[in-house]
Amino acid sequence: MPAKSILLLGDEILYRISEEIQKSNLDKAKQIINDLHDTIVSFKNQYGFGRAIAAPQIGESVRIIYMHLVDKTHYFINPVLEFIEDDTFHLWDDCMSFPGLEVYVERHKKCKVTYKNLNWEDCEMYLEGDLSELFQHEYDHLDGILAVQRAKDLKSFRINKNKSGC
């Protein structure tokens, strides 16, 4: 399957709140998950980074996130995010929808995610540190929020030439 184009900063689809997938649309969900996989693999080969992607980034306004980690892949259908403690940390965040731009943001150290799998079973996962931050970033995409909207202040932006193709 060929990779989909990743929507870039400014595309109105990225600012929409995504719709939940219905059980009757599991075939569509499976296709979107395959498209997300192909797209992130292609992006990582081109730019050298990319650990996760949300369906809105390929123009699908549905609540699906796909994580492509070194040793494992995960997908989340209709995820619900819950912060399990108040501790936060700051980091320079990047995004496939604006490669090369990094934004200084605040994220929670730990979170709990409840979601559906392709068998329509309820699942949950606890994430912390880098994975918690990564999931929060992708979850924001489902709600039409980009990292640039989470910037700590107006000086919280920088260009990473290694990721921009500059």
**How far is it between the farthest Cα atoms of the chain?**
46
Contacts 24+ apart (CB under 8 A), 152-159: 152/90, 152/104, 152/105, 152/106, 153/104, 156/103, 156/104, 156/105, 157/101, 157/102, 157/103, 157/104, 158/92, 158/101, 158/102, 158/104, 159/100, 159/101, 159/102
Which one of 60, 102, 133, 138 is the catalytic residue? 138
- Bridge-based pairing state of the strands 101-108 and 88-93: antiparallel
Q: Is 108 annotated as a binding residue?
A: no
Active site residue 85: no
Residue 117: burial class (beta carbons within 10 Å; 0-12, 13-18, 19+): middle
Residues marked active site are found at: 138
Which amino acids are annotated as binding site for Fe cation, given as ranges? 95, 137, 141
Positions at the binding site: 95, 137, 141
